[in-house]
Chain A
Amino acid sequence: MTTQTIERAAAPRAWSLPRGRQLAIAGAIAALLAAAWPWTAGQFVLHLAILACINIVIVNGLSLIDRCGQLSFGHSAPVALGAYGSVLFSTLFGFGTITAAALSLVAGALLAGALGWVILRLRGVYFVLVTFAFAELVRLVLLDAASVTGGANGIAAIPPLSIGGFAFDSRERFYALALALAVASVGFMVWFFARPLGRAMTAVAANPALAESTGLNVQRLQVVAYIGGSMLAALGGVLTARYVGFISPESFGTSASVAFITMLVIGGRKSLFGPMLGALVLTPLPELFRGAVQTQHIFYGAALILILRFLPGGIAGLLSLRAARGVGR
C-alpha cells in the first residue's frame, strides 16, 4: 500500500484565489469607493446620490410586490402617504421626526394591508388598473384636502430628521443615512428571498395556480408582499420629505409611478440587484440630458422596449448578476 503524502498547499494568496472570488472582492472595493465618492465630489453630486439612494429604497419596494406576482402601477401612492404622513404626524400631533416617521410607516402598512386584502383578488392587468386608479385617487385627495395638506401648494419648510440632538440637516449627513438605508434595503431583499417566505413568494409569482395547489395561500402571501413593498415605499417618502424639505401632490403622480416601473424594468426585474442598478443609472440621467428633455424621454421609451425585447434581465442581466437571481424566475 502506497501512502501518498498529502501535499500541504500553501496558504492561498489573494491573487491566486479563484476568479469568481477575485471579481467579487474587486467589485466590493469598487462599490465601496463609488459609495464614498459623493462625499468628496461636491453638493450637487451628493444631491443626486441622495436621490438615487431614496429611489433604491422605493424601487426595492416595488420589486418586492412584483416578485410575488403583481405589478403595482400606483407605487407613488404609498410614497406620498409616507411623505405626508411623517410630516403631518409631526405638525398635527407634535411627534418627534423619528416617531412620526415610524408612525407613518405603521399607518402605511395598515392601509396597504386593508387595500391589498381587497384588491389583490384581481389578477394581472386588472390589478394594474386598480392600483393606477387608487394612486390617482390619493393624489386627488391630497390636492383637495388643502386645509390639512396644503393642497396644490404643498407643505414647505419641513424640518430635517433628528435623533436626540443630532440633525440630518446637511447633505453629507443625510447621504450617510440614505446610503445606509439603501444598502439595508438591498440586503433585506437578498436575505428575504433566500428565506422560506421569500421562496414561497417567488413560487407564487412563477405559477400561482401551482403554488395554490401545493398549499400556499396565494392571496395572503401577496398581501404580505404588498404591505412590505408599501412600507419600503413609505420609507422612501419619509426620506424625500425630510430631505427636499418640500412636498406637493404633483410629485407623486402617474409620472412618478411610471418612473419607478422604468427603473425596475431597466435595472432588471429578475435580479435582486435590478432595482439598485435601475435607480443608480436612471436617477442622474436627467441631469445629463437636461436641455434635451425630449431626447431623454425618447431614450427611456426606447430603452424600455429594447430591454424587454432583447434583454429581459435588464442591466443586471447584462452584468450577469446571476448569483442573486432567486429561485425559479
Chain B
Amino acid sequence: MDWHLLMGQATVNGLIVGLLYLLMAVGFTLVFGVMRMVNFAHGEFYMLGAFAAYFFTTRLGMAFLPAVALSFVAAIVVGSLLEWCILKPFRKDELNGMIVTIGLAMILQNVALMSFGPDPVSMPSIASGATTLLGITVANSRVYVVGFAVVVLLLLYAFLRHSRGGRALRAVVEDSETAAVQGVRARIYYPLGFGIGVGLAAIGGALMAPLFSVSPFMGQTPLLKAFMVVILGGLGSIPGAAIAGLSLGLLESYSTLFLSTSTADMLIFLLVMVGMLAFPRGLIGRGEA
C-alpha cells in the first residue's frame, strides 16, 4: 500500500471515529453548558443506547433506523426523568453533581450487567461488503453509519439554530441568568438539556452497535474520549466539541499509523494535558475557564 492510499485510508477511518467522538462530546458539553455538571454517566447512556438498539432490532424485529430513533427518544425520556428525580438538587453544584453522576454511572452499568450479563453481544450488520473508492476501502456498514450520524447532526444544528426550543437551550448554555430573566423556564430546560445531551450519547451507541460488539462495559472508553474532546474544545462550547471531536479522531488514526498504539495513547493524553494548561478555554476557544 503506498503512502497516499494509506493516508487516505487513515483519514477516512479517522473521520468515522471522529464523528462518534463528536456525538459523544457534543452531548457531554451540552449537559455541562446547561447544568454545569460533568456527567460521568455519559458513557453509560452510550451503552444503554447500544443495548436499546440491539434489543429493538433483535428482539422486536425493528429495522435499524426506527430502532435508533426509538433509542434516542427513550434516552431523552429516561434522561429527563433521571435529571428531574435525582440530579435536580445538584444543578449548578459542580463537584457534588459530578460525584452523583459517578453513582448514577455505577447503578446504570450494573443494572445492565444484571440484565444482559457480562458477555458482549453482537448485532447483525446493517450492510455487508465494502465500497472501494479511489483505492480506499470502507465497509458499507460504516458508510451507512456515517450517513446517519451526519443526518443527526444536521437535525441537531437545525434544532439549535432555528427552533424556539433550541434557541432557548442555547441561551441557557450561554448565560443561564440572562436566559432566566428572559423567561426561559429552568424547569423545562434543565431536564430537556440533560435528556438531549444523553440522547446524543445514546444515538452514538445505537449507531456504533452494529460495528462493534455491545457489552455493559462499552461505555468506559467513549466517556474518556468525551472528556478529552471537551477539554480540547472547551467545556460548554458546542462548536469546540465538534471540531475537537473530529480532530481527535484524525489524530488517533494518524498516530496509530506511525506509532504503536500505547505510544499514541500516551501522546494524546499528554497533548490533552498540555492543551488544557496552555489553553484553559479550549484550543478552539469559547469555552469557559
State the A residues within 8 Å of B (CB): 71, 118-119, 121-122, 124-126, 128-130, 132-134, 136-137, 140-141, 143-144, 254, 258, 261-262, 265, 293-295, 297-298, 300-305, 308-309, 312
Contact = CB atoms under 8 A, between A and B. Distances in A.
Given A258-B102, A294-B114, A300-B103, A308 B96 contact: yes
B218 interface: no
A132 B231 CA distance: 12
A305 B88 CA distance: 12
24 contacts: A118-B277, A122-B277, A124-B95, A125-B98, A125-B235, A126-B280, A129-B231, A133-B269, A136-B269, A137-B269, A137-B270, A137-B273, A261-B99, A261-B102, A265-B99, A293-B110, A294-B110, A300-B106, A301-B110, A302-B107, A305-B100, A308-B96, A308-B99, A308-B100
Given A134-B269, A137-B270, A261-B102, 15 more contacts: A125-B36, A125-B38, A128-B38, A129-B38, A130-B277, A136-B224, A137-B269, A261-B99, A295-B114, A297-B106, A301-B104, A304-B102, A305-B104, A305-B107, A308-B103
Interface residues of B, number: 41
B89 A309 contact: yes
A130 B262 contact: no
B227 interface: yes
Interface centre among A122, A124, A140 (most CB of B within 10 A): A140
A132 B90 contact: no
Contacts, number: 110
A294 B113 contact: yes
Interface of B: 32, 36, 38, 86, 89-90, 94-96, 98-100, 102-107, 109-111, 113-114, 220, 224, 227-228, 231, 235, 262-263, 265-266, 269-270, 272-273, 276-277, 280, 289
Contacts of B270: 137
B95 A126 contact: no
B106 A144 contact: no
A134 B273 contact: yes
B214 to A, nearest CB: 17
* Interface residues of chain A: helix, strand, loop or mixed (majority): helix
A262 B104 CA distance: 12
A143 B227 contact: no
Contacts of A294: 110-111, 113-114
